[in-house]
Structures are given as structure tokens and as C-alpha cells.
């Protein structure tokens, strides 16, 4: 495709990667065709095929490396999460935790709760999940967790937000490519009340090996 | 309190647990798409090694997806839950969680428990605190995760539910 024709594919049109273009002898992988913003083919009557060098697109990288952590650093994690009764029912049943405290609202009310108690393992998994991009997504095995305390029950409709503090970040003498980082994480509900806290330790890849 | 007299088991009150007691739990579970893929995303875990089949191809960790450790841990706890927490009032905490070996989709987890301690609870005289050690083992007999767990469990002596159904009108 000429530069001029590529330019005309700009305004009012969107580009979609597509591997299903037929009738040409060029490889399917790595091509796209242009359609108008309403989703119809261009005026030429058939999709316009061009080569796109996807390998040249910069990755929008996620995660932190060992060098990005220092003792005492505080990280507030993204998104937050409202836990629904559906989340709790799916998680509890899929993990074989059929306890009526988590799945029978009348039973839970009889024990003094306003609704079922959200499975604490779901609370813990969600808080760890919210922290992954900041703490461990860039790679390294999950070594373990200590001192997990469930401070109070969470109920469907409650919203969790989480933050962590770096407790320690030390090199590993046996693994020059990794360091060992320990964080203390806390999660609170929408009223600012502490719901769960714990310490977690991971191997974290270094940007530059020793 | 007296509307559901028969919903939970009769053999797992606080008084039924003793230090050193061991349990091999009856049901095992295979980790499939729901347990790993679905739950890992449900809990917002953005680490794609758990749900992108291509992410680890050719890496030292081996081809294919890795199961999120806490899903294995949660399944291990779940498999123990009827025997350890059916009469629980509250899950108090966990400790010493270790993931010893990688788990892959298709692996089957069997759970084992031992009672480490039983204690009175001054704050809850109608219940007591039981500390368990749990192990999750794969289909090859290897321990893949272990953890300790502390649960507040009802006392039979204080449980109105154990008094039987409330008398009905007309009963004599």
C-alpha cells in the first residue's frame, strides 16, 4: 500500500488486526485491513491490506523489578474490588468450601450476621490479586505468606482496597538474578476498617543480575 | 438460632478436636479451567502465567500455565472445610503458608490435616480456638502446599442448634 493510500485510511476509519483476509497470496499473519468507523469495508469494496510490523510496537510493560523496591516504601494498589454474592458463591463452591456460613444467608443471620460471610480465602485471594501488578507480576516464585489475620468479616457488597509496605528487600546469595522481597499488606473495607493483613515473600527478578 | 437445627454435622464441634488428631479428607479435587483460570481472574490476579498458555513457553518453569498458589491453598482449605470448619463461627487467620512445588491445570489435590492446638477463647466462651496444619498433595503424592489455620469453632455445650428442633405447636 502506498503512503498516500495509508494516509486516506486515517480519518473516520479504525484499524483492526485481522488474520482472516482471503484472496491474496501474502501471509495472513501480521496484516490488517481498514474499515470505516461504522464497521463497513472501505469504498474500494474490499478490505485494504497492509503490512504492519508488530514486532516494532513497544510493550506497555507492567510490574516492578527488585531494584524498584526499598525498605519502608509504601504502595497503594490499583482498582479496589466490590465483592458480590456471586463472587462468593462461585469461589466457595469451586474450592469445595460449602460451609453454610458462606452460602446460606439464613444460617449466617441466625449466627448474628447481616448476610452470608464472604469466604475469607476469597478476601485473601482478592487482596493478593490487587497487589500483584505492584509487587510480583514481573516475575518470581511466590515463596510464602505469614501472619494472615482476618480482622473482621466481609459481607457481599463490601469493597476492598489494599496497600503494602516493603518490609525488606535483600539479595539472594544463591541466585544472582533474583532478590527476596517481603511486604506487609493491609486491606480495608469501604469504611476504612481493617479486614485482612499479612506478610508475603517472593523472589523478585532483578533488572540487572549481580 | 433455633430455626435450622440440622444443617451442620454433629462430629466437628470444638470438643471433638484433640491435639495430634489427623485427618485425610474424603474428597479430592482436580484443578481445571474454573478453579484456576476463572478464579484467578475473578480475584484480579493480573499475572498472566496463570491464564496465558503461551506466557511461559520455553521458560525454566516449563511450558503451560501455572496454577495461582493461593487457588491451590484455597482448594486445600476448602477440601478440609466440612471436617474442620462446618461448625466454625469465624476464620481467625493463617500462617506459615508455603508453596513447595508448581501445580499445573489438570493436577488433583488431596488435603490432609493435623490438629496443632486447641484453646479456650476468653472472648467467646461458647466457642474455642482450633489451630490446624493443612497439607495439599498432588496425584503423585508430592506435597504442593502447606499452611496453618486458626478457626473459632462452636462448643457443643453452648450450641442451641444442638438442642434439636424447636417444639412445634401441638407437640406435647
**Residue B101's CATH number:** 3.10.129.10
Residues A129, B4: C-beta atoms closer than 8 Å: no
Q: Are B73 and A121 inside 8 Å of each other by CB?
A: yes
Answer whether B29's CB lies under 8 Å from A96's CB.
Answer: yes
Among B1, B44, B69, select the one facing A79 at the smallest CB separation.
Answer: B44
The reply to whether B8 falls in a domain is no
**What is A66-88+119-205's CATH number?**
3.10.129.10
Helix, strand, or coil here: B3? coil
Q: Is position B131 within any domain? A: yes
Computed over its alpha carbons, how large is the radius of gyration of chain B? Answer: 20
Give the predicted TM-score (pTM) of the model: 0.84
pLDDT in tens, chain B (172 residues): 555 567 999 999 999 999 999 999 999 999 999 999 999 999 999 999 999 999 999 887 788 999 999 999 999 999 999 999 999 999 999 999 999 999 999 999 999 999 999 999 999 999 999 999 999 999 999 999 999 999 999 999 877 654 444 444 454 4
> Measured between alpha carbons, how far is A34 from A58 in angstroms, rounded to an integer?
22
- Is B97 inside a domain boundary? yes
- Residue A145 and residue A183: Cα distance in Å, rounded? 10
Mapped onto helix, strand or coil, the DSSP state of residue A186 is strand
CA dihedral B139, B143, B147, B148 (to 10 degrees): 100
Taking the domains of chain A in order of start, what are their residue ranges?
Answer: 3-56, 66-88+119-205
The boundaries of the domain holding residue B123 are 19-31+68-162
Closest by CA to B7, choosing from A156, A110, A118, is: A110
Q: What's the confidence (pLDDT) of residue A144? A: 92
* Helix (H), strand (E) at residue B42: helix B39-42
Condensed to tens digits (0 to 9), the pLDDT of residues B132-155 reads 999 999 999 999 999 999 999 999
- Give B-chain residues touching A100 at CB under 8 angstroms: 7-8
- What's the ipTM? 0.91
Which cell numbers in the block locate residue A188?
480495608
CA distance linking residue A7 with residue A11, whole number of Å: 8
Count of domains forming chain B? 1
The Cα of A199 is separated from the nearest Cα of chain B by a number of Å equal to: 9
> In whole angstroms, what is the distance from residue A98 CA to residue B10 CA?
16
For residue A139, is pLDDT > 90? Answer: no
Amino acid at each position: 500500500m502506498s503512503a498516500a493510500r495509508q494516509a486516506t485510511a486515517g480519518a473516520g476509519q479504525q484499524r483492526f488486526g485481522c488474520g482472516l483476509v482471503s484472496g491474496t497470496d501474502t501471509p495472513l499473519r501480521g496484516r490488517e485491513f481498514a474499515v470505516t468507523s461504522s464497521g463497513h469495508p472501505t469504498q474500494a469494496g474490499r478490505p485494504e491490506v497492509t503490512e504492519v510490523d508488530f514486532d516494532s510496537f513497544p510493550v506497555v510493560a507492567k510490574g516492578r523489578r527488585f531494584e524498584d523496591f526499598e525498605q519502608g516504601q509504601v504502595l497503594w494498589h490499583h482498582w479496589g474490588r466490590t465483592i458480590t454474592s456471586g463472587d462468593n458463591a462461585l469461589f466457595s463452591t469451586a474450592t469445595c468450601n460449602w460451609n453454610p456460613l458462606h452460602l446460606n444467608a439464613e444460617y449466617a443471620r441466625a449466627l448474628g450476621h447481616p448476610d452470608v460471610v464472604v469466604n475469607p480465602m476469597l478476601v485473601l485471594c482478592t487482596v493478593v490479586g490487587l497487589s500483584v501488578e505492584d509487587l510480583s507480576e514481573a516475575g518470581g516464585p511466590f515463596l510464602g505468606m505469614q501472619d494472615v489475620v482476618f480482622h473482621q468479616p466481609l459481607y457481599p457488597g463490601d469493597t476492598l482496597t489494599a496497600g503494602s509496605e516493603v518490609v525488606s528487600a535483600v539479595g539472594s546469595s544463591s541466585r544472582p538474578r533474583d532478590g527476596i522481597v517481603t511486604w506487609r499488606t493491609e486491606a480495608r473495607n469501604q469504611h476504612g476498617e481493617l479486614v485482612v493483613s499479612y506478610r508475603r515473600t517472593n523472589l523478585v527478578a532483578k533488572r540487572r543480575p549481580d | 438460632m433455633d430455626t435450622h437445627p440440622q444443617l451442620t454435622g454433629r462430629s466437628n464441634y470444638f470438643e471433638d478436636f484433640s491435639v495430634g488428631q489427623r485427618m485425610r479428607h474424603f474428597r479430592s479435587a482436580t484443578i481445571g479451567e474454573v478453579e484456576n483460570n476463572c478464579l484467578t481472574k475473578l480475584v484480579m490476579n493480573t499475572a498472566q502465567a496463570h491464564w496465558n498458555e503461551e506466557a511461559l513457553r520455553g521458560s525454566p518453569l516449563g511450558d503451560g500455565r501455572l496454577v495461582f498458589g493461593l487457588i491451590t491453598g484455597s482448594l486445600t482449605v476448602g477440601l478440609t472445610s466440612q471436617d474442620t470448619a462446618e461448625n466454625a463461627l469465624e476464620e481467625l487467620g493463617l500462617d506459615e503458608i508455603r508453596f513447595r512445588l508448581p501445580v499445573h491445570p489438570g493436577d488433583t489435590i488431596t488435603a490432609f490435616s493435623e490438629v496443632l492446638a486447641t484453646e479456650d477463647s476468653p472472648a467467646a466462651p461458647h466457642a474455642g480456638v482450633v489451630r490446624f496444619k493443612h497439607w495439599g498433595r498432588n496425584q503423585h503424592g508430592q506435597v504442593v502446599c502447606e499452611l496453618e489455620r486458626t478457626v473459632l469453632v462452636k462448643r457443643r455445650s453452648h450450641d442451641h442448634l444442638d438442642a434439636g428442633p424447636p417444639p412445634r405447636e401441638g407437640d406435647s
